[in-house]
């Protein structure tokens, strides 16, 4: 497991400078607009090197010996390829959604049971993966936040997979943590590159694949969802608010919790560190469900309070600022 993390980390650190040079030479740049969180054009597509590093770390550590893990890696590469096409050339939104649906379909093979159960569970797995891929994309809006999420969730899933004997999946989780950690020096505090859709789609796909594998092995639901709880909650609540207010869901905006926090004056690094710490706490509380009923209930309540506190934080800070 440690070998996979180190290989992915080293590969990412080596590949990223080359990737940035190529992206700049091809003028693949993210130009800021009124909804952006950055002020100067920045190379877009750094996630290509991150996903290559992830796959490299997983394969060199022997994860491909597992057929389930091969399915996850195929979905990751396919989703990242869709994102790379968007980063390099642009793909219309609805076409992108269709391609992502196809790219996540292999994950339906991770569920078992009778034929009727597999159809329902497989369809649910694909819907979950598609939702998480898009959530990761929506949440990739400030420096460091996706590196923090990949590090925390990858490490959490590596430990959970190891605890239930899924050694190959544990290797993929560790490689995810190492690959996204390798991106941090190029994205925090000053961004020389953004992940782009290639990286955010790849992140969502690998976390979805690992989550589905863990659920299929009977790992408690809260333990599996806790490492990604902030992403799911922030995206879900934001989309709900936009739909209730009649705003088109697919247009750019600045309504996510992390965006509102930066609008209140917090730095990108500060908000990303907050997400990192809360993500670690969330994953730890989720793991409490593995310790029996005596600890499971209070851990679940604390996890719910943590997520609710994160969602309420912009309002609380705005009220405090207005009272000063």
Query: Side by side, which strands form the sheet with 42-44?
Result: 29-30, 42-44, 193-194
Instruction: State the average pLDDT over residues 37-42.
Output: 67
Residue 77 has pLDDT above 60, yes or no: yes
Chain length of the chain: 324
- Number of folded domains in the chain? 1
H/E stretch holding 43: strand 42-44
Q: Rg (Cα) of the chain, in Å, rounded?
A: 19
Report the alpha-carbon distance of residue 39 to residue 10 in Å, rounded.
30
Q: In this predicted structure, which of 60-64, 108-112, 123-127, 147-151 has the lowest mean pLDDT?
A: 60-64
CA–CA distances in Å: residue 241 to residues 91, 249, 313: 26, 10, 16
The pLDDT, as a whole number, for residue 189 is 87
Q: What is the pLDDT of residue 33?
A: 57
How far is residue 177's CA from residue 174's CA, in Å, rounded to a whole number? Answer: 5
Q: Give residue 285's pLDDT.
A: 96
> What pLDDT, on a 0 to 100 scale, did the predictor assign at position 143?
93
User: Domain span at residue 186?
Assistant: 2-323
pLDDT digits over 174-221, tens only?
999 999 999 999 999 888 999 999 999 999 999 999 999 999 999 999
Q: Would you state the pLDDT for residue 321?
A: 77
What predicted TM-score, i.e. pTM, was given to this entire model? Answer: 0.92
Which pLDDT does position 99 carry in this prediction?
97
């Amino acid at each position: 497991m440690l070998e996979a993390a180190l290989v992915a980390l080293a590969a990412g650190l080596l590949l990223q400078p080359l990737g940035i040079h190529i992206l700049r030479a091809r003028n693949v740049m993210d130009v800021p607009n009124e909804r952006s969180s950055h002020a100067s054009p920045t190379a877009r597509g750094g996630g290509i090197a991150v996903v290559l590093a992830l796959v490299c770390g997983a394969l060199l550590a022997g994860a491909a010996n597992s057929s389930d893990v091969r399915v996850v890696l195929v979905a990751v590469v396919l989703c990242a390829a869709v994102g790379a096409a968007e980063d390099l050339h642009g793909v219309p939104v609805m076409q992108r959604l269709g391609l992502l649906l196809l790219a996540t379909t292999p994950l339906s093979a991770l569920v078992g049971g009778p034929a009727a159960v597999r159809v329902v569970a497989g369809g649910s797995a694909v819907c979950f993966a598609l939702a998480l891929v898009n959530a990761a994309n929506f949440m990739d809006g400030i420096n460091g936040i996706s590196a923090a999420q990949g590090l925390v969730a990858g490490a959490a899933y590596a430990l959970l997979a190891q605890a239930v004997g899924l050694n190959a999946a544990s290797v993929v989780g560790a490689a995810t943590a190492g690959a996204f950690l390798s991106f941090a020096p190029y994205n925090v505090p000053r961004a020389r590159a953004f992940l782009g859709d290639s990286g955010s789609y790849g992140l969502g796909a690998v976390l979805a694949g690992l989550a589905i594998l863990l659920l299929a092995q009977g790992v408690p639901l809260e333990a599996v969802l806790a490492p990604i709880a902030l992403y799911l909650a922030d995206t879900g609540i934001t989309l709900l608010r936009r739909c209730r207010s009649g705003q088109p869901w697919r247009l750019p905006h600045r309504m996510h919790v992390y965006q509102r926090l930066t609008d209140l004056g917090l730095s990108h690094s500060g908000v990303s560190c907050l997400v990192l710490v809360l993500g670690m706490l969330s994953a730890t509380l989720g793991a409490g469900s593995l310790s029996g009923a005596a600890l499971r209930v209070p851990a679940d309540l604390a996890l719910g309070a943590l997520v609710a506190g994160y969602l309420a934080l912009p309002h609380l800070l705005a009220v405090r600022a207005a009272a000063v």
